Structure 1
Amino acid sequence: MDVVLVSRTQAKLDATADEIRAQYPSRRVKCVRADFTDPDTSAVYSHVGRELHGLEVGVLVNNVGLSYPHPEYFLKAAEDRCGDADGGKAAASAGWGPQLFDDMVRCNITSMVNMCRLVMPGMADRKRGCVINIGSTASRIPCPLLTMYGATKKFVEKFSRELNTEYGGKGKHGTNITVQCVMPGYVATKMSKIARTSWLVPSPDTFVKSALQTTGLEPVTTGYFPHTLMVKAIELAESISESMMARTVMNNMLGIRARALRRLAKEQQQREEAQSATATDK
């Protein structure tokens, strides 16, 4: 199967393409540079559409995603200098500000809708295809301090489920397109900021191998059995006491937030000390 990669960073596109070519020399790889957070969505998807023109895309994986730099209150996350009251200048980490939520909607929702709009007509004409939309367990379980992220992922679940009903199946009205929403929990990736793997936090390779076994079988899945157990356990706890579960998760998120702010403060202090030392040397 040949591969088309779409991302905003050319260096990462090239590196990934080189990896694929090294492992699968007979496969062709095409790179398309596109920034899904760009406010000019018309230009972005016109460009992507031109790059995909004439290609028979059999499998579409919508995996682009944007989350918070760290858990934060909704109103504070939209401030230009988010976290100043807690951690001084160190807390004004990159990514915060009024544009964060707009970028998140464009990246997590608008990109998925438009990529499906561009690719699915060809699948419908050929009466076959597969769309895998990457959501998150955040759409199923409480995630205060990641409110916008969880809300965008709930859209992914609903959008995927209804598309699968509309276009799945081989009957009179079906077009034999499988649309699946995969909702992982924590995976050891750069976005999760978790480096060490465990039974509950798999490596990307372990997760993907597990998730692919569900393609065509389950329209909505976590893709990984331990994550399913986690979701079921939390849903059971919510059924007993929703308020208690919400408080428990909130306290956990506040702990993660506090650690992130301390880390940012420490990094800022180290930068200031380095700048001071450089100025002294001069």
Structure 2
Amino acid sequence: MDLMELFFISLGAAVVVYYGVKLLLFSRMLFPKLWFPLSKFFFTSMGEWAVVTGASEGIGRAYAFMLAEQGMNVVIMSRTTVTLDQVAKEIGDTTGQKVKVIATDFIKENVFSEIEEQLRDLNIGVLVNNVGVLPSFIPCQFLECAELDQTVTKVINCNVKTMAKMCKIILPGMENRGKGVIVNISSGIATIPFPLYTLYAASKVFVERFSQGLQAEYKDKGIIIQTVAPFGVSTRLSGYQPINMVTLSPEDFVKYSLQYIRAGDKTNGSVCHIVLGWILQSIPLKVLHGELVEVYLIKWPPSVNVLPLRGFFSINLPISL
């Protein structure tokens, strides 16, 4: 056997091992209960209270309900007091847990000192940073966004600043107790550079990078910090897409995503969304971006929330905003 033949055999073996390991790691995501089991009292062992931002509807509301069903008291935060009070009553009547309401507008400046004061004496074991704002329901190029200066400020304040500030408020208590869970909600739209939703997608990339860096810093303190990046979930921000195999109800998505709490610093939250993420990353950006711009300029809108991706694939890919 000459040297060249030995080289190619070794190279082939290395490729097989590499992709075999990747396949094994991927297969773990298909069976989260087997690979990432949680004890019955996992969440209550983190602390007495859970805090959920953007909890008046959609994914945030589902997290608040699910954590209350796990035995936690919950603090729900959003803009509208009337809606929050209704959600609080529903959670209390259904689960018997305590519910604290904090009405605040995260788009505004200087709201966090009051929030910190209201949370000061609570033993907070779980934080879900869910609140977010979409610059425009209709996809548009960056400079075409209405009231661009104000929109940039709103997106940064709500999608970026709020997450960092809430972590700043709650993380010290978790560090002192040596335990806690922080879930930061990103979006499948941040998987790749996404034209026509550029500002929103970029804000969700910050969510992912911030969370991953924070997890590296505090993992040894016993704290789990995870990004959850859903694709299709039927919420107001996604235009209440019809529920199907890949577009989940908020309740089903949250139920699945909580099974992945110990699966690493980022998850798409469900098997179908993990597969969708793989598909989206497999499409060459040149093809994907060209198709998106074509849809925008010529054929928009087939639907505000469904992006036709052609080229190598012929699918409708739901994107949770």
Query: Would you say 1:31 and 2:101 are equivalent positions?
Result: yes
1:277 match = none
Per-residue deviation at 1:98? 2.8
Supply the AA of the counterpart residue of 1:245. Answer: L
1:244 match = 287
Could you report, residue by residue, the CA deviation over 1:218-276 in whole angstroms, capped at 9, with x for unpaired residues? 210100111111121121122xxx2112112333455455866xxxxxxxxxxxxxxxx
Asked whether the 8 Å contact 1:61–1:133 carries over to 2, the reply is yes
Supply the AA of the counterpart residue of 2:223. Answer: I
Could you report, residue by residue, the CA deviation over 1:71-100 in whole angstroms, capped at 9, with x for unpaired residues? 1111010x34xxxxxxxxxxxxxxxx4311
Supply the AA of the counterpart residue of 1:29. Answer: V
* CA distance in structure 2 between the partners assigned to 1:19 and 1:221 by the alignment: 29
Of 176, 192, 195, which residue of structure 2 is paired with 1:141?
A: 192
Could you report, residue by residue, the CA deviation over 1:196-233 in whole angstroms, capped at 9, with x for unpaired residues? 10111111111111100000222101001111111211
Please identify, of 121-130 and 187-196, the stretch whose mean Cα deviation from structure 2 is larger.
Answer: 187-196
* CA distance in structure 2 between the partners assigned to 1:185 and 1:208 by the alignment: 12
Structure 1 alignment gaps of length 5 or more: 81-96, 169-173, 261-282
2:138 match = 70
Asked whether the 8 Å contact 1:3–1:28 carries over to 2, the reply is yes
Please identify, of 216-225 and 59-68, the stretch whose mean Cα deviation from structure 2 is larger.
Answer: 216-225
Asked whether the 8 Å contact 1:71–1:257 carries over to 2, the reply is no
User: Taking structure 1 as reference, are residues 183 and 175 closer, same or farther at Cα in structure 2, changes over 3 Å only?
Assistant: same
Alignment of 1:89-100 (within 5 A): 97-100=148-151
Q: TM-score, normalised by structure 1?
A: 0.78
1:3 match = 74
User: Taking structure 1 as reference, are residues 106 and 176 closer, same or farther at Cα in structure 2, changes over 3 Å only?
Assistant: same
Query: Would you say 1:56 and 2:127 are equivalent positions?
Result: no
User: Taking structure 1 as reference, are residues 250 and 53 closer, same or farther at Cα in structure 2, changes over 3 Å only?
Assistant: same
Structure 2 alignment gaps of length 5 or more: 1-71, 305-321
2:113 match = 46
- Structure 1 residue runs of 4 or more that deviate by more than 6 Å after TM superposition: none
Query: Would you say 1:151 and 2:212 are equivalent positions?
Result: no
* CA distance in structure 1 between the partners assigned to 2:168 and 2:218 by the alignment: 13
Could you report, residue by residue, the CA deviation over 1:97-148 in whole angstroms, capped at 9, with x for unpaired residues? 4311110110000000000000000000000000000001111134211100
Query: Would you say 1:204 and 2:250 are equivalent positions?
Result: yes
Asked whether the 8 Å contact 1:36–1:111 carries over to 2, the reply is yes
* CA distance in structure 2 between the partners assigned to 1:127 and 1:141 by the alignment: 35
Alignment of 1:159-238 (within 5 A): 159-168=210-219, 174-238=220-284
Asked whether the 8 Å contact 2:73–2:98 carries over to 1, the reply is yes
User: Taking structure 1 as reference, are residues 66 and 256 closer, same or farther at Cα in structure 2, changes over 3 Å only?
Assistant: farther
Could you report, residue by residue, the CA deviation over 1:146-194 in whole angstroms, capped at 9, with x for unpaired residues? 10000000000000011111101xxxxx210000000001200011003
Query: Would you say 1:15 and 2:86 are equivalent positions?
Result: yes
Asked whether the 8 Å contact 2:241–2:247 carries over to 1, the reply is no
* CA distance in structure 2 between the partners assigned to 1:178 and 1:133 by the alignment: 11
Supply the AA of the counterpart residue of 1:71. Answer: P
* CA distance in structure 2 between the partners assigned to 1:157 and 1:148 by the alignment: 15
Please identify, of 250-259 and 214-223, the stretch whose mean Cα deviation from structure 2 is larger.
Answer: 250-259
User: Taking structure 1 as reference, are residues 126 and 259 closer, same or farther at Cα in structure 2, changes over 3 Å only?
Assistant: closer
Aligned to 1:30, the other structure's residue is in SS state: strand
* CA distance in structure 2 between the partners assigned to 1:259 and 1:7 by the alignment: 28
Asked whether the 8 Å contact 1:144–1:253 carries over to 2, the reply is no
Could you report, residue by residue, the CA deviation over 1:24-66 in whole angstroms, capped at 9, with x for unpaired residues? 12x110001111000x23xx00010011011011000000011
* CA distance in structure 1 between the partners assigned to 2:124 and 2:144 by the alignment: 41
Asked whether the 8 Å contact 1:160–1:181 carries over to 2, the reply is yes
Please identify, of 225-234 and 29-38, the stretch whose mean Cα deviation from structure 2 is larger.
Answer: 225-234
Identity over aligned pairs, percent: 34
* CA distance in structure 2 between the partners assigned to 1:256 and 1:16 by the alignment: 36
Aligned to 1:130, the other structure's residue is in SS state: strand
Q: TM-score, normalised by structure 2?
A: 0.69
Of 120, 123, 128, which residue of structure 1 is paired with 2:174?
A: 123
Question: How many residue pairs get matched?
Answer: 231
* CA distance in structure 1 between the partners assigned to 2:106 and 2:122 by the alignment: 21
